[in-house]
Amino acid sequence: MVAQRPRSAVAVPATAKSAEKDNRLEPLSTRERILDVALDLFIENGFHKTSLREIAEQLGVTKAALYYHFASKEDILMALHLRLHEFGTDALSQLGDQEPTKARWADLLDQIIDQMLAHRKIFLLHERNQAAFEALHREDHDASHEDLQANFRRVLSDERVSVRDRVRMAASFGAVMGGIFMSGDAFGDVPSSELSEILRDAVGDLLR
């Protein structure tokens, strides 16, 4: 069992406390602000030990303002989880119908590594709240998850590429996921720049 690092207090943006008279900020910015504050609280205190009242207090708004954007705490968690589905989507779209050579696959993983390291908190959230995520099974999530998996399967099934290379491509993707998604606390003190270099070396080793 991995020992958890000391948990620091969540910083509250000063602008979050300057809510309008009805305790609502501009809708889109409010939604993202709710997610960002909830992300920090869920990591620090755990999903089940964090209340909507605490999220609202950090934002400087009322619970009613939260309900304007999210019907429940579970909806907030789902929205945070769906951020994961953005990783790789752009890179896969750019690949399109091109032959997924090892060089193109390395470029795709470069983009995914950058995206994942820019959002390391999402993976730490998953690692520390596994039971809460296991309880989230909804059609919108399942459909998005299946679409992303289907795209990866399509690329890795492309017979224009040898089986040997496709297995190495799959293994390199697994290395990236294992290095970030499954090891948030274990590598939490490793700077993103250093982790990025190590992951790219690992990808290179597997694709050679």
| pLDDT at residue 52 in the model | 95
What are the CA-CA distances from residue 18 to residues 15, 33, 111 (Å)?
5, 13, 36
Residue-wise pLDDT tens digits, 37-60 = 999 999 999 999 999 999 999 999
Q: What is the mean pLDDT of residues 187-201?
A: 92
CA distance 66 to 23: 10
**CA 168, 173, 165 angle in degrees (round to 5)?**
20
Residue-wise pLDDT tens digits, 85-123 = 777 777 788 788 899 999 999 998 998 899 889 888 998
CA distance 47 to 132: 7
Handedness of CA 128, 12, 193, 80 (dihedral sign): positive
pTM listed for this prediction: 0.70
Average pLDDT over the chain reads 82
What are the CA-CA distances from residue 124 to residues 4, 51, 101, 136 (Å)?
11, 19, 32, 17
Ordered alpha helix ranges (H), 86-191 = 89-95, 102-118, 120-128, 130-134, 139-156, 163-180
| pLDDT at residue 5 in the model | 40
| pLDDT at residue 175 in the model | 93
Q: Hey, where are the domains in the chain?
A: 14-70, 81-207
CATH architecture designation of domain 14-70: Orthogonal Bundle (1.10)
